[in-house]
Amino acid sequence: MVGRIDHAAEKLNLDPSIHKTLRTPRRSLIVTFPVKMDNGEVEVFTGYRVQYNYVKGPSKGGIRYHPDVTLEEVTALAGLMALKCAVVDVPFGGAKGGVACDPRSMSMGELERMTRRYTYMILPLVGPEQDIPAPDVNTDSQTMSWIMDTYSMLRGYTVQGVVTGKPVELGGSKGRLTSTGRGIAYVTQDMLRASGMEVNDTTVCVQGFGNVGMNVAKFLHEDGCKIVGITDITGGLFNPSGIDVPSLALHAEKKRGIRGFSGGEFVSGHVEANRRLLIMKTDVLIPAALENQITESNASDVNARLIVEGANGPITRRADSILGRKGIQVVPDILANSGGVIVSYFEWVQDIQAYLWSEQEVNARLKNLMNDAFVQVQDFANEHEVNLREAAYMLAVNKMAEVTKLRGIFP
Ligand code: NAD
């Protein structure tokens, strides 16, 4: 992440003082705290919250529960959030948090007690005007409800705007669950039009069929695209005439994966299925599962005209250069998958106004922001003769630099 900021700063010929400011996080908090476990023993956990910056408004970012959570990882993800918010003009800085734990081995009671104590420990940093957490790996709307309740109990009144990704009944936004996939679909359509391609009958391959992959496949299918390949952890489904995505989604929800669906050729095992997916001739490829999926060892086999990054960091830097040489355009993650943070911003706005928007209103506003961001990135790419990834990072760094300059360095 810092490497990309450095590259963007160099290309922008950024003032070295501003560059120095942007490549470091403002606040990093490490907390260690005891939690009573179900067996009567006490476990001590380590948690983090990093506010990368808050030049434009409160900082914002998810909280993840995973054994591998470290300060370095949380800092890099906080920086990525700062860039993502900047590129789509959401008035937040970036933040991220996490607790090093194995949530799969913990009971609901243990998770709740850990979440509440972690919230108490990071209390000096969070708040609707300060820093607003959201779900990330292994945290969800229930986790956000516990954080909101703990924060509210400690303040003495209900504060809905302290987190986003809450259930709608507790001040969550309509449309939040599908927002990342919907945003990717909007950007894919923008990119197709910009490349002179028709949306109708465009062929699309999607890696991953979870929240992001399933929703983007559903929306593009509704819009007339032909989804010809889908993989998940159980394997891959291929159908040159187009997969019946709504039926596959119902099947995958029931069977916890795409295995066993009859509407196409099924390839067992995700390794072989992903290999087939990458080499398949298609107009659009959407990696929406994991990071580092297109690497220097398989990038030259990719047979798509466009790639839209649904996951965070699915293409390595070396693979990026290979794809560039092959003339394959890439819509980068910080632009393509920003629908989630955009609707999180809408959730925060609705909470502080105490006014719930309709789902149509949420989706229309999401479309406007994503379309604007796409046009800005594309114009920047044309103006500076760089690819869309470089343009998105340069644009984000430039916007962060501009507001930093306007505010000046305190004192
Ligand atoms: P998810 O857990 O809901 O789904 C992941 C999907 O990927 C599942 O279908 C799983 O079977 C599949 N998968 C896992 N390993 C695979 C492999 N090796 N090959 C093929 N498929 C595999 O996760 P998600 O929320 O859809 O997130 C996917 C990616 O998008 C992650 O990188 C995440 O960080 C990123 N992202 C998510 C959001 C969001 O709002 N959910 C927002 C921005 C970015």
Mean pLDDT by 10 residues, the chain (411 residues): 93 96 97 98 98 96 96 96 97 97 97 98 97 95 98 98 97 97 98 94 96 97 97 97 98 96 96 97 97 96 98 94 97 97 98 96 98 98 96 98 95 94
From CA 94, how far away is CA 171, in angstroms rounded? 22
The pLDDT value given to residue 411: 94
From CA 229, how far away is CA 206, in angstroms rounded? 6
Going from the Cα of 213 to the center of ligand 1, the distance in angstroms, rounded, reads 7
Going from the Cα of 352 to the center of ligand 1, the distance in angstroms, rounded, reads 31
The pLDDT value given to residue 1: 85
Residue whose Cα lies nearest atom 4 of ligand 1: it is: 210
Atom of ligand 1 nearest to the CA of 180: 40
pTM of the model: 0.95
Is position 174 annotated as part of the catalytic site? Answer: no
Atom of ligand 1 nearest to the CA of 310: 30
> What does the block give as tokens for 107?
């009971």
Of 73, 216, 233, the one to substitute when testing ligand 1's pocket (max ligand atoms within 8 A of C-beta) is 233
Give the pocket of ligand 1 (CB within 6 Å). 180, 207-213, 231-233, 270, 274, 288-290, 310-312, 337, 340
CB 93 within 8 A of CB 59: yes
The pLDDT value given to residue 201: 84
From CA 372, how far away is CA 374, in angstroms rounded? 5
Going from the Cα of 249 to the center of ligand 1, the distance in angstroms, rounded, reads 15
Going from the Cα of 177 to the center of ligand 1, the distance in angstroms, rounded, reads 13
What are the pLDDT digits (tens) for 159-207? Answer: 999 999 999 999 999 999 999 999 999 999 999 999 999 999 899 999 9
Of 270, 290, 366, the one to substitute when testing ligand 1's pocket (max ligand atoms within 8 A of C-beta) is 290
Residue whose Cα lies nearest atom 17 of ligand 1: it is: 233
From CA 172, how far away is CA 52, in angstroms rounded? 25
- Measure the CA angle with vertex 80, ends 26 and 232; round to 5°: 145
Among 60, 84, 96, 218, the active-site one is: 96
Going from the Cα of 208 to the center of ligand 1, the distance in angstroms, rounded, reads 6
From CA 215, how far away is CA 403, in angstroms rounded? 35
